[in-house]
Structure 1
Amino acid sequence: MGSALRRRLAAAAGEYDVVGVVRRVPERAASGQWVSVDLSSPDCARELEEAVRGADAVVHLAWAFQPSHDIRYLESVGVGGTQRVLDACASAGVGHVVHMSSVGAYSPKQDTDPVGEDWPVDGVPSSSYSNHKAAAEKLLDAFERSAEGTAVARLRPGIIGQRAAGSALLRYALPVLIPSRTMSAVPVLPMPDGLTVAMVHADDVADAIARVLRQRATGAFNLAADEPATAPMIAEALGARWVKTPAPVLRALMLASWQARLQPVGPGWLDMGCVAPALDSSRAKRELGWSPTVDAMGVLRETIEGMSYASAGSTAVLRRRTVAGELADLLSQGPISHRRRS
């Protein structure tokens, strides 16, 4: 998401002076300043405060998705890192904080109707990602109450997709030995009936952030394509035949294969996908003048195409994924779901 935002801000010729705060500075760094900060470390407070000092606004996008078996580390980035960013913003007197939340922060849906920003934000109990997103929102609530004079906005997008994320998604979501080209050769797709996934293109989210910054907007904004993706749509985008599979059966298979280290995605993601609500983005359209330019099927097709070609970007997270490279990392560092950070 950070790469899409940098593209969007760079397009506004001279309007923004961007400082990128990352754990690993890109070897082929794009224009602008870069600062290396590890948000999982409690000792990063001084360097983080120095990085944000003098900023008119801070956009907090950082999150961790792997190693999925190390929940303590994921929490140290997603929840602890959020608190450290907010503390730095308070100390430095930053005037506008924009936090990237998620559809995952919402409580389970009750029906298929899209929900607005007033839907409860208590997460899905069996999903660590969802719980951490909900916990980060509560930190933001406390920050809003205490940080007088600071405008606070939070964005709740659906699942974000873009072509350049292809290699990253392969690395985080598929077994090491599966080549990228197999994405276009999936014969069947087992998924539960009734599953819907709110989706949005990374460039559309970046446009929303730019509008929030320009208007110094506050409050929560849902961001999603007008119609969510469904199980049949996902199968169609993959060129596969959809096989209706009860969620408990699929969850048991995911849990067993995840615990056996055969694949890196825990069953909490399925749990969240089955109960996450559809999103009503009316407020963003009304108050920001925002509208999605890519529909859910378009996001699916582009993202899957990016995975098929192992599309990549210039940052460490978006680096190109190859089977040989992943196998070398597996032998030297262990599976990504348990891997030590470097």
Structure 2
Amino acid sequence: MRVVVVGATGNIGTAVLRALHETDEVTSVVGVARRRPDSGVVPYADVAWHSIDIAAASTELDARAALESVFTGADAVIHLAWLIQPNTDRSLLRRVNVAGTERVARAAAAAGVPRLLVSSSVGAYSADPEGAFRDEQWPTDGIRTSHYSADKVAQERVLDAVETAHPDMRIVRMRPALVFQGTAASGIQRLFLGPWAGALRAGKPPVLPLPSDFRSVQAVHADDVGRAFAAAATRDVAGAFNLAADDVLGREELAKILDHGRVATLPTAWVRSAMTVAYRLRILAADPGWLDLGLSAPLMDTRRARAELDWAPRVTAAAALSELVDAIRSGEGGDSAPLMPRRPQQRHLPGSNGMFTSSDRTRDAGDTAPGERSARDQLAASMIDAGLLGLYLSDHLTGATAGAERAERMSADAIDTPVYARLSEAAREIRLERAFVKRLISELGVPRRRHRQFAGWFAEHLGRLKANGAVVRRSPLTLVLESEIMRSAVLAKLGMWRVLQEHAPHLGWDPEVFVDLAGRAEAQADMYSEVHEYARRRAFRSDRDVFPE
């Protein structure tokens, strides 16, 4: 059985891949994502990957042609792709989430795919003032003040139309509650919490403030959602399925997980106002519509999934949320771009030999295996000037700090352009390489000169105030200038890798680590040249757009 998963690298997508790998009937899995993951790690291994932009910066003709080609011969297509941020760009979200679903569905029908499974949500349901358990027949008119809910409702209407036009194709609509897992901690933090996640990492708050209208909320572990998708992909079922854990999280349950068990009840209007202010100040990533959705959505009856999919949740809602909170506090994440932690763990760093190994264990600076000399000892015994090398690496770390910030901002700003995927992949690599240089400095025992890194970070953020000829919208000139700056920075980084390659044998390092990093730098420079070509051909023309309106 051949299954194609669209949006296979996110929270639910990663869990669906795990479930499909464990399903005997599934013999072939194809992953579709705008940004390809590392295919050498589980669960992204043993998956045939295709990079396709379903709607953000592609035409309907191109997207459907690419999708139809990949879907041909598939026994089932699972559509999970969904964009939550930037929630200030409603046209982009609507295009990806609603038009993207329609393109996937119609491409699946054109390719003759017998089963289409789509991730809908509890957010599609209408408000329920009574708080009773509702089955799949509850109206799907959504919560008016939630853009997420509005798009889920529109997605349901798209599926209605496709179902009418193609009655032979079985369409399944999964409607999960809040989906949690530890692997998604970094992604959930970026999408919903933003800087507010620092409060969770700082420790348990003395009291949990909750709005007076809050009753309870349902949740489900991502692995349980993944198993439901795998079950539906191998059965002749159709229609909607509610997915939620057995337990419901009320005030006391949330307080026990998030703080010391104490709850402060505040007027809902106050909480919503505070959330609005925090959102507008960019302290909180989620807008107030998410609060409206959480206070109004119905509780879901999951009996149909249990009966027709032979499905039952294995993880309680409380355990799923606890796993997520613990992962946020410890800074964990996954191995795909949407799930990658902002502060990379040791296993993500470049290098596979010598002292920089791809292991799950993070060594403290100076730790060595029995009989192995530390990098600090190697440096001291060599003829290399430790002071000059340390100063050189510290200066490059300063540049890498500013470069990582700029690369991520470039990627975020270009999310609706054809160059987004390559910019995003480069931003991920650059942040990993910065962590690698930081680790090198630590292992050598030379000063980091943190004030210089802060100066680099501050200078990059100060540079964002430059308008480039536009104040209230993105300037087409920005991508031209920033691609030039980043290409120059990458070439400077290439020089550092060559220096370290030259001196690696004297320090007990494997030179091939730096040969590989130099190759990556050359590829990054070529990529920024391609971005520059894309931008410069449009930035100065009145009849072309760098950033689609």
Shorter-chain TM-score bucket reads over 0.9
Distance in 1, matches of 2:99 and 2:275, equals: 28
Distance in 2, matches of 1:253 and 1:12, equals: 46
| Structure 1 residues 178 and 156, CA gap change in structure 2 (3 angstroms) | closer
State the shift of 1:149 in Å: 1.4
Rg comparison, structure with higher value: 2
Do the aligned partners of 1:180 and 1:309 also contact (CA within 8 Å) in 2?
Answer: no
For 1:259, the equivalent position in structure 2 comes to 280
For 1:96, the equivalent position in structure 2 comes to 115
Q: Secondary structure at the match of 1:294?
A: coil
For 1:213, the equivalent position in structure 2 comes to 233
Distance in 1, matches of 2:197 and 2:402, equals: 10
Higher helix proportion, which one?
2
Most deviating of 221-230 and 175-184: 175-184
State the shift of 1:233 in Å: 1.7
For 2:258, the equivalent position in structure 1 comes to 238
For 1:27, the equivalent position in structure 2 comes to 38
State the shift of 1:327 in Å: 9.0
Superposed CA RMSD in Å reads 2.4
Q: Secondary structure at the match of 2:74?
A: coil
| Structure 1 residues 190 and 330, CA gap change in structure 2 (3 angstroms) | farther
For 1:85, the equivalent position in structure 2 comes to 104
Q: What is the identity percentage for the equivalent residue pairs of Structure 1 and Structure 2?
A: 37
Give the unaligned 5+ runs of structure 1.
none
For 1:275, the equivalent position in structure 2 comes to 296
Matches within 5 A, 1:77-156: 77-156=96-175
Query: Structure 1 residue 55 and structure 2 residue 74: aligned?
Result: yes
Most deviating of 312-321 and 171-180: 171-180
The amino acid of 2:296's aligned partner reads V
Give the unaligned 5+ runs of structure 2.
1-11, 345-396, 421-549
Q: Secondary structure at the match of 1:80?
A: helix
Pick the aligned partner of 1:2 from 10, 13, 34: 13
| Structure 1 residues 216 and 111, CA gap change in structure 2 (3 angstroms) | same
Do the aligned partners of 1:39 and 1:81 also contact (CA within 8 Å) in 2?
Answer: yes
| Structure 1 residues 129 and 181, CA gap change in structure 2 (3 angstroms) | closer
Distance in 2, matches of 1:70 and 1:326, equals: 28
Q: Secondary structure at the match of 1:184?
A: coil
Higher normalized contact order (CA 8 Å, seq sep 6+, divided by chain length): 1
Do the aligned partners of 2:183 and 2:334 also contact (CA within 8 Å) in 1?
Answer: yes
- TM-score norm. by structure 2 comes to 0.59
How many residue pairs get matched? Answer: 341
State the shift of 1:235 in Å: 2.0
| Structure 1 residues 291 and 229, CA gap change in structure 2 (3 angstroms) | same
The amino acid of 2:225's aligned partner reads V
User: Any idea what the Cα deviations from partners look like across 1:221-261, whole Å, max 9, x if unmatched?
Assistant: 10101232223322211124321122211111111221222
State the shift of 1:128 in Å: 0.3
Pick the aligned partner of 1:15 from 8, 26, 45: 26
Query: Structure 1 residue 305 and structure 2 residue 326: aligned?
Result: yes
Most deviating of 263-272 and 242-251: 242-251
Do the aligned partners of 1:176 and 1:326 also contact (CA within 8 Å) in 2?
Answer: no
Do the aligned partners of 1:68 and 1:74 also contact (CA within 8 Å) in 2?
Answer: yes
